[in-house]
Amino acid sequence: MIRYLGGRLVTMAWTLVAISVIVFVIIQLPPGDYLTSYIAELQAQGESVSGDRIAFLREEYGLDRPLWEQYLVWASGLVQGDLGYSFEYNQPVADIVGERMPMTILLNAATILFVYLVSFPIGIYSATHQYSWADHGLSFVGFLGLATPNFLLALILLYLANVWFGTSIGGLMAPEFIDEPWSLAKAGSVLSHLWVPVLVIGTAGTAGMIRRLRANLLDELNRQYVVTARAKGLTESRLLLKYPLRMALNPFVADLGTLLPQIVSGSVIISAVMSLPTTGPMLLASLRSQDMYLAGSFLMFLAVLTVVGMFVSDVLLALLDPRIRLGKSTPR
Report pLDDT digits (tens) over 226-285.
Answer: 878 778 877 777 778 777 877 777 777 777 767 777 766 656 777 777 777 788 788 888
Cα separations in angstroms, 49 against 38, 44, 61, 64, 159: 10, 11, 16, 17, 45
If you average pLDDT over residues 141-145, what whole number do you get? 78
> Residue 89: which of 81, 99, 104 has the closest Cα?
99
Q: Distance between CA 47 and CA 40 in Å, rounded?
A: 10
What DSSP line would sit under 138-166, residue for residue? HHHHHHHHHHS-HHHHHHHHHHHHHHHH-
Q: Distance between CA 96 and CA 88 in Å, rounded?
A: 11
The contacts of residue 132 (CB under 8 Å, 6+ apart) are none
Q: How confident is the model at residue 332 (pLDDT cuts 50, 70, 90)?
A: very low
Amino acid at 165: F
> 96-284 architecture in CATH?
Orthogonal Bundle (1.10)
If you average pLDDT over residues 65-76, what whole number do you get? 82
Q: Where are the domains of the chain?
A: 96-284
For the cut 60, the answer to whether the pLDDT of residue 329 exceeds it is: no
Q: How confident is the model at residue 114 (pLDDT cuts 50, 70, 90)?
A: confident
pLDDT over 70 for what percent of the chain?
A: 85
Question: Mean of the per-residue pLDDT values for the chain?
Answer: 78
Looking at residue 327, its pLDDT comes to 52
Residue 140, strand partner residues = none
The whole-angstrom distance between residue 88's C-alpha and the CA centroid of its chain comes to: 24
Q: Distance between CA 63 and CA 33 in Å, rounded?
A: 8
User: According to the per-residue pLDDT averaged within each range, which of 146-150, 161-165, 303-307 is highest?
Assistant: 303-307
Residue 85, strand partner residues = 92
Dmax (CA) for the chain in angstroms is 86
Q: With contact defined as beta carbons under 8 Å apart, do 83 and 170 qualify?
A: no
Q: Distance between CA 28 and CA 143 in Å, rounded?
A: 40
The contacts of residue 146 (CB under 8 Å, 6+ apart) are 204, 207, 208, 211
Looking at residue 282, its pLDDT comes to 82
> Residue 167: which of 36, 249, 274, 43 has the closest Cα?
274
Rg (CA), the chain: 25
The contacts of residue 181 (CB under 8 Å, 6+ apart) are none
> Residue 256: which of 64, 127, 116 has the closest Cα?
116
